[in-house]
Amino acid sequence: MVIWSLVHTKGGVGKTTTALFLAAAATQRGVPVRVIDADPQGSASSWADRAAHWGTPLPFEVCPGTAGGVRALTSESGELVLVDSPPGVAAAIDAAVDVADLVIIPTGPRAADIDRMWPTLDITQHRPTTILLTMVDMRKVEALEMPRALTAENAPVLQSIVRCRTEFERAFGRGLPAHLGDYADVFDALTTATWMEGAAAI
């Protein structure tokens, strides 16, 4: 089992969207995958329920989870588990970080998102961690400046980014598209990165 935890102490940065789109990418590549919805708001679970209601069920399981449940996760070898953590519940965030083979910090390129990213990075220092820039508007100067600034600060930023796309914004509550856009590239980048060499194989 390999666990990727989506963590950020700020809401609205794309954690749930990232978790579900990465799970879809895993499914397309034949990787058994499960999403743990550890956010009390239940956005991932609501997404799955609505998609099923409209006859377009997600091609993977979304299970509700608590901090204790996350710490007790078990699975068969070869499964990828994605933990969607809440923005402000310390126990759930700590559990998601502690069990992770990789912590993914999705963050928008806005100053407010980046400002809250640094405290998140501090609490993940004991686990392999990468920063994923999401909702990047390529028409704005920050799309180029922010990755460079993070790299200059030696932040573990992933070179693959998720650009701002209408299909991502409108995806909530619907079946995921066959074409996953930037998330397909992000998934491949994550699975081939050096931090995965010591983890169980996906």
Q: Are 33 and 84 in contact (CB under 8 A)?
A: no
Q: Parallel, antiparallel, or unpaired for β 61-64 and 2-6?
A: unpaired
Residue 198: what pLDDT? 46
Q: Are 182 and 161 in contact (CB under 8 A)?
A: yes
Q: Are 151 and 30 in contact (CB under 8 A)?
A: no
Residue 62: what pLDDT? 97
Apex 16 CA angle, 86 and 35, nearest 5: 90
The average confidence (pLDDT) of the chain is: 87
Lowest average pLDDT, out of 51-55, 88-92, 105-109, 166-170, goes to: 166-170
pLDDT digits (tens, 9 = 90+) for 159-189: 899 987 666 666 666 778 778 989 999 999 9
Domains of the chain, each with CATH number or no CATH: 2-190 (3.40.50.300)
pLDDT digits (tens, 9 = 90+) for 96-141: 999 999 999 999 888 888 888 899 999 999 999 999 999 887 777 6
Residue 147: what pLDDT? 78
**Which residue type occupies 142?**
E
**Strand ranges inside the chain, DSSP E:** 2-6, 33-37, 61-64, 80-84, 102-107, 129-133
Which is more confidently placed, 80 or 197?
80
Share of residues in the chain with pLDDT > 70 (%): 88
**DSSP-assigned letter for residue 36:** E
